Chains A and B, each alone.
Chain A
Amino acid sequence: MFEAIIHVIRFELIRTMTVARVMIWIAFCCFPALLAAALNYQAPDDVPQEIWIFICYLLVPQIGSMLGLLLWATSAVGSEIEAQTWIHLSMRPRGRITLALGKYIVAVLWTASYCIVSSVLVSFLSGIEDKVEGAFALAATSLCAAIAYAAIYLLIGAVFFRRATIVAVIFSLVIEGLGAWIPATINQFTISYRLRTLMTEWSDMGQIINHRDVPFLFGDEGVFFTMLIIVSYTVIVLGIACYLITKREYPVQSDT
C-alpha cells in the first residue's frame, strides 16, 4: 500500500505542474509577505511585538494554510467524480484509501511548502524583531495547521463532495474563525486554539502575555500536550475520512 500511495503522490504532483497551479503557489507565498511588508511600512515604530506575532500568525498559519487546503484537500473526492475518474480508482483493490492518503499527503506538502517560504518572507518583512525565531515559529505552526486542517477538509470533501469548498469555507469562518475566539471551553475544541498555543510557545509571545490574563486566546498545556491533541485529532478525523471514502457509494456515471 505504501508503494501505491507513492504512485498517487507522484501522479498528483505531476498534475500540479501547470502554469495556473504554480502561479497560485507563488501568489499564496507572496501575498501574506506583501501584506506584512505594507503593514510594516505604514505602522508606527512602537507596535508591540505580540501584535506583530499575532498578525503574522493570522496571515500564514491561520488563513494562509487554509487557503491552500481549500483548493487541495476539499476537492480530493469531488474532483475525481467531476473528472469521471473515480470509477477507475474504485476498480483498484485499495484504490480509494490510497487516493485519500496520497491526496492528503500532497495537500499537506503543497500547503506546507508555500507556508514555510511565506513564513520566512513574512517574518523578515514584518516588524518581528527576532526574525529567525519568528520564521521558525510561523513555519512550524503552519506545518501543524496543514496537517490538521488537511484532515478536516478531506473529511468535509468526503461527506459533502458536491459542495465541499463552500462547506469548508463556512466551517472555517464559523468554527475556526468565530468559535475559536469564544471565551469559553468550546474554543479548546478548535484547531485554531491549539495553533495559537503552539505559536505562543515557539515565539516571544508566551513570555510577553500571561495565559491567565487571556485564557481564551491560548492554552498553557505546553508543546507536547498540544501536539498530542493535534496529532490525535488529525488521526481520528483522517481515519473517519478514509473510512467514508472507502465505504461510501459515490456517483460514478449515468446509466447506459
Chain B
Amino acid sequence: MNTQNSHASILELVHVSRFYGTVIGLGDANLDLAPGAYGLVGPNGSGKTTFINLITGVLAPSIGDVQVFGQNPHQDRSVLSRIGLCPASDILYPNVSALQWVEYLTGLHGFTRQEAYERAVKALTQVGMEPNMHRPIGSYSLGMRQRSKLAQAIAHDPELLILDEPFNGLDPIARHELTEFLNNWVDQGKSLILASHILHEVEAITTSFLLIHGGRILASGDATEVRAMLRGFPVEVKISGQGLSILAEALSQEAWIRGMDFNDNGNTLQVRVKDKGAFQARLLELSRLEGVVISSLESPDGSLESAFDLLLSVHRGQEAIEYQ
C-alpha cells in the first residue's frame, strides 16, 4: 500500500508480522508512507498499539523489516530523536510536577539541564499547561495528564508525532483544543500518525487513513481512495413497507442481487446488492407495481465511516455490511 509517493518515506513496512506466541499482533503489513498526517483507525484490540510499538522500535518484528526515516528503530535507536510518542497509557508519577517530568524526559534526549528546562516550559505552554505545570501530577485531571504526555512528546521538536488514542477521557473542550493543536502541527508541515477507534475525531485532522483490523492493515489512502477501493463490494439495503413479497420476487431475477431476507414478520426486506445504481433504478420501477408500498429505505450513507464499516464487514467474511 503506497500513500503520497512524492517524497521520501517516513515509514516503510515490508512484510512485517509480529506474533505474541500463537496470536498475531500484526500480520504481513506492507506500507510506504510519505511525510504527512495519517489516521490509524481500527476498533479496540485491532493492533494499533502493536503497530505503534513496532514503528517506534519498542517491539521488534517477528518477520519483516521496519524502517522509519530510513532506519530500523529497534536496532538504531538514534532515529527516536526524530519521533515523539504520546502513548495511550496514563502517567503514574504522582509526586512530581509535569515540568519536572517533561524536563527529565527531554533531558534524556541529550539536552543540557537548561535546554531541557526551556524546552519543557515551551512544550507545556504550547499544550496549555503553563498555569499548572508546577503542581504534582497526582493532582491533575485526566485532560491535564494527556496534555503533559503530549508535551513530553513534542518537547524535543520531533519530525513525526505519534499519538495513541489521545482523545480518550477528554471533555469536549479539551478535544477541540487538541484537534486545533494537531491541525496546527500538520499545518507546520510535520508528520503525524494518530491512532484512534473513533473515526470522526481522526477525520477532523486528516483525510489520509490506515484502516487496521484483526492485526491486518486493510486499507490505506485518503477517503476517496478508500471509497474507490470499495466500489463493487455488495451493500445491504433495508426496505420496509407493504407488498414486499412482490418486490422480492421481481428483484430475485436480477443478476446484481446477492441475497435477500425477510425480517420483522415480513414487514422488512433486507437486500444485498452488488450494483447500487442499478438497484435504485429498478426499485423506482418496481415501486409503481400494484400492491407495493415502500415506507422506508435504509442504505449506506456514503460516509467514510460507512465505507470503513463495509471494509471491516468484508474482512470479517460477511457478504455485505449490515445497517441498523
Q: How many A-B residue pairs have CB under 8 A?
A: 109
Contact A91 B83 (CB under 8 A): yes
The distance from the CB of A256 to the nearest CB of chain B, in whole angstroms, is: 5
The distance from the CB of A250 to the nearest CB of chain B, in whole angstroms, is: 9
Contact B92 A249 (CB under 8 A): no
CA distance in complex: A17, B136 (Å): 13
Assess whether B316 is interfacial by the CB under 8 Å rule. Answer: no
* Number of A positions contacting B (CB below 8 A): 33
The distance from the CB of B216 to the nearest CB of chain A, in whole angstroms, is: 14
Cβ contacts under 8 Å, B110 to chain A: 1, 3-4, 93-94
Assess whether B310 is interfacial by the CB under 8 Å rule. Answer: no
Cβ contacts under 8 Å, A107 to chain B: none
* Number of B positions contacting A (CB below 8 A): 49
Contact B78 A93 (CB under 8 A): yes
Cβ contacts under 8 Å, A232 to chain B: none
Contact B92 A4 (CB under 8 A): no
Which residues of chain B (226-264) have a CB below 8 Å from chain A? none
Contact B112 A94 (CB under 8 A): no
Assess whether B315 is interfacial by the CB under 8 Å rule. Answer: no
Proximity string of chain A (1-24) to chain B, C-beta cutoff 8 Å, 1 when within and 0 when not = 101101110110011011000000
Stretch at the interface among B3-11, B27-35, B54-62, B265-273: B54-62
CA distance in complex: A164, B305 (Å): 47
Cβ contacts under 8 Å, B80 to chain A: 91-93
Q: List 25 A-B contacts (CB under 8 A).
A: A3-B107, A3-B111, A4-B108, A4-B110, A6-B107, A6-B113, A7-B107, A7-B113, A15-B95, A18-B95, A85-B91, A85-B92, A90-B56, A91-B56, A91-B85, A92-B108, A93-B78, A94-B108, A252-B87, A253-B88, A254-B49, A255-B25, A255-B47, A255-B49, A256-B44
Residues of A within 8 A of B (CB): 1, 3-4, 6-8, 10-11, 14-15, 17-18, 82-85, 87-95, 98-99, 249, 252-256
